[in-house]
Structure 1
Amino acid sequence: MAEKLGLMICGHGSRNRGAVGQFAKLAEGLKSRFPDWPVEYGYLEFANPVIHDGLNKLREAGCTHVLAVPGMLFAAGHAKNDIPSVLNTYQAQHPDMKITYGRELAVDVRMVRAAAERIQEALDAAPTNVDPHETLLMVVGRGASDPDANSNVSKIMRLLWEGMGFGWGETCYSGVTFPLVGPGLEHAARLGYKRIIVFPYFLFTGVLVQRIYSATDEVAAKHPNIEFLKAGYLNDHPQVIDTMADRVQEILQGANVMNCQMCKYREQVLGFEAEVGLAQESHHHHVEGLGAEAECKLCEELCTGACEEQVRKAGAHHHHDHDHTHDHGHGHSHDHKHDHGHDHGHDHSHDHHHHPYPHADHPLGPKSMDKAD
């Protein structure tokens, strides 16, 4: 029987309906690149359909070989562990359908071009003209307990800084690692540049993007002599869709090469030596499929950060800044690598068993910042 291919786009999911809608739009963009294949998408948690549902639809459509790609920027726990765990479980239950896993968007020239266009859009809309050499670029990543994923954000920043000719470039993160956005921007403000462009290197909207913009406003209020510009996130930029389409082609061409040289689970990465060979497993099975009941009711399409304000007023701290960095035991081509956008701003009680982050008490990181509140 002839092989019938299908495409599965795997996302994390979000409580924010805008983020979920934007991911669906990205999936629709990919459908147009592969018109002869059934194409489905699904999420790990907090939104429907879940990945299992999408795989069911592909199976019902007669697909015998599914190419699964993670809709994520870099390699950390969701793409290394959680998505492969769901795919492996499904594969074991349905051995008649082969599932092959692709790699993340990663550091790619097309992703850099998409990012540069978002930054240029902010520059074009700016009220004043400032020399690029008097401008500092701040690229904000998601933040993970995986140093390889964090370092990729710095590489993206350098490519943008050097490519666009800004006077200086810095990197900070929305959570998990250091420096956070507030301390990062306070440091940047002391460097003497007339303008600071803040660019969230995120695929979609959500509470984390709003948190970045709110922190920018707070720092800008303290430094009225500096012009702060807030660039838009990547969203469904055509170059992003091109990159994801290329990840699908890599699977077909047998060129699905992952970067494992700096993976903390395989190499003794400085500061993370205790995690080499650590058991890596998903934690998402108990929340998979939470959809309408998990959706944030405080915002419409655009996240306003109202959930964080609600937590603040209640006298609690929002600790959903952690990265989920466990992996999988995979029996087929689920090579590991990827980051996530864990952009829901609500506390939930499921228990995550994470290896302790070695720099959790760094003075510019989340836990230390909470102590200072």
Structure 2
Amino acid sequence: MSQSSAYLLVSHGSRDPRPQAAIAQLAQRVQHKMQSDTPLALVGAAVLECAPLPLHEQIQQFSQTAIAQNVRHIQIVPLFLIPGVHVMEDIPEQVKIAQQTLGETVTIALSPHIGTHPGMENLLANRLAQRSADAYILMSHGSRRSGGNQSVETLASKIGAVSAYWSVAPKLEARLQELAQSGHQKIAILPYFLFTGGIIGTIAQAVDQLSQQFPNLELDLATPLEVSDRLADLVLDLSLQSPKEITANPSL
């Protein structure tokens, strides 16, 4: 029995083992959901950084596994929340290199990144609804790429939160200052990150320090999205959408 496509979930990568374990778990959960319709569904995981092999070689290895199962089409699903340089430049370039190397043995297509899924709004809104606060902050890593943070701004507005960023302004301290001046006292902070890792630990330390800096504020730091059936459903739905095909033509 053959199937039409194999799916490779691509995340940023980290030296912290927890995100690596989480993406592998998410891939297994997505594969399990796919297997209800396609028993031989193949879903893998790869990372852009902090791996022994560059992404294009990871794609090539996964493609060989797919070919052995008589699958000739690979869909790359970027597990990134904002359209920064990694999404808009780095991953497409790595996919092109892989396609050029593989030639016509397989076709590779690139799905939109997970942050584009309209279901992300409901996922975040439901998480905020579980927390009792009079103000909410959606905190993203942030991107220095022009327009890279607009999706965060839009999401924050839709769920009744304000945005803050780890790497660019406005940062968390500035947002807390604004909210304190507006009379807010109990503030929930939702990290707009997929998985727990080193940066989440650093954010938690920063929140502890900010709690001392703003003693009149009650700060409630939520966890990242983490692996869940809801997130797996978004990834599954995104995987099944019409992706952008990558050709072997280096001029494209």
TM-score band, normalised by shorter chain: 0.7 to 0.9
The question of 1:67 aligning with 2:75 is answered yes
Q: Distance in 2 between matches of 1:172 and 1:232?
A: 16
Q: Mind listing any 5+ residue stretches in structure 1 that lack a counterpart?
A: 124-131, 162-168, 258-329, 334-373
In 2, the alpha carbon distance for the partners of 1:102 and 1:28 equals 19
Which digits, 9 at most, give the CA deviation of each residue in 1:198-254, with x for residues without a partner?
A: 111111112222222222221211222221111111112322222211111112xxx
CA distance in 1, matches of 2:117, 2:100: 33
> What is the aligned partner in structure 2 of residue 47 from structure 1?
51
Give the aligned partner of residue 318 of structure 1. Answer: none
SS at match of 2:178: helix
Q: Is the 8 A contact 1:110 1:239 kept in 2?
A: no
1:215 paired with 2:206, answer yes
Residue 170 (structure 1) aligned to one of 162, 165, 168: 162
Q: Is the 8 A contact 1:196 1:228 kept in 2?
A: yes
Choose 31-40 or 92-101, whichever is displaced more.
31-40
Of the candidates 177, 181, 185, which is equivalent to residue 190 of structure 1? 181
Q: Summarize the alignment of residues 194-343 of structure 1 with structure 2, pairs less than 5 Å apart.
A: 194-251=185-242, 256=243, 331=247
Count of residues paired in the alignment: 238
In the TM superposition, what is the alpha-carbon distance from 1:186 to its structure 2 partner? Answer: 2.8
Q: 1:84 to 1:32 in 2, by over 3 A?
A: same
* Offset of residue 146 of structure 1: 2.1
Q: Give the aligned residue type for 1:28.
A: Q
Q: Which residue of 109, 120, 123 maps to 1:100? A: 109
The residue type equivalent to 2:164 in the other structure is C
Pick from 88, 99, 122: which aligns with 1:113?
Answer: 122
CA 1:11–1:54 in structure 2 vs 1: closer, same or farther (change >3 Å)? farther
Amino acid at match of 1:236: V
CA distance in 2, matches of 1:142, 1:121: 23
State the secondary structure of the residue aligned to 2:114. coil
Quick one: structure 1 residues 43 and 107, their matched pair in 2 at CA, closer, same or farther if it must change by over 3 Å? Answer: closer
Q: Matched residue of 2:149: which SS?
A: helix
For residue 298 of structure 1, what is the aligned residue in structure 2? Answer: none
Question: Which one-letter code corresponds to 1:45 in the other structure?
Answer: E
Percent same amino acid among aligned pairs? 21
- Whether 1:12 aligns to 2:12 is yes
Distance 1:187 1:332 in 2: 50
Give the deviation of 1:159 after TM superposition: 1.3
Q: Which has the higher helix share?
A: 2
Preserved CA contact (<8 Å) 1:107 1:156: no
Partner residue, 1:155: 154
**Does the C-alpha gap of structure 1 residues 194 and 184 become closer, same or farther in structure 2, counting only changes over 3 Å?**
closer
> What secondary structure, in the 3-state scheme, does the structure 1 residue paired with 2:49 have?
coil
Query: 1 CA distance for matches of 2:183 and 2:152?
Result: 24
Structure 1 stretches of 4+ with a deviation exceeding 3 A read 47-50, 120-123, 330-333
Q: Alignment RMSD, CA only? A: 2.3
TM-score, normalised relative to structure 1: 0.59
Give me the whole-angstrom Cα distance separating, in 2, the residues matched to 1:94 and 1:332: 8
Letter in 1 for 2:108: I
Pairing 1:84–2:76 present: no
Please report how far the alpha carbon of residue 160 of structure 1 lies from its aligned counterpart in structure 2 after TM superposition. Answer: 1.1
| Letter of the 1:185 counterpart | L
State the alpha-carbon separation in 1 of the partners of residues 116 and 135 from structure 2: 21
The Cα shift of 1:33 comes to 2.5
Instruction: Tell which has more relative contact order, 1 or 2 (C-alpha 8 A, sep 6+).
Output: 1
CA distance in 1, matches of 2:248, 2:148: 23
Distance 1:20 1:102 in 2: 21
Separation (CA, whole Å) in 2 of partners of 1:99 and 1:225? 54
**TM-score scaled to structure 2, two decimals?**
0.85
Range with greater deviation from structure 2 (82-91 or 45-54): 45-54
Contact 1:201 1:234 in 2 (8 A): yes
Matching residue's letter, 1:101: L
SS at match of 1:145: coil
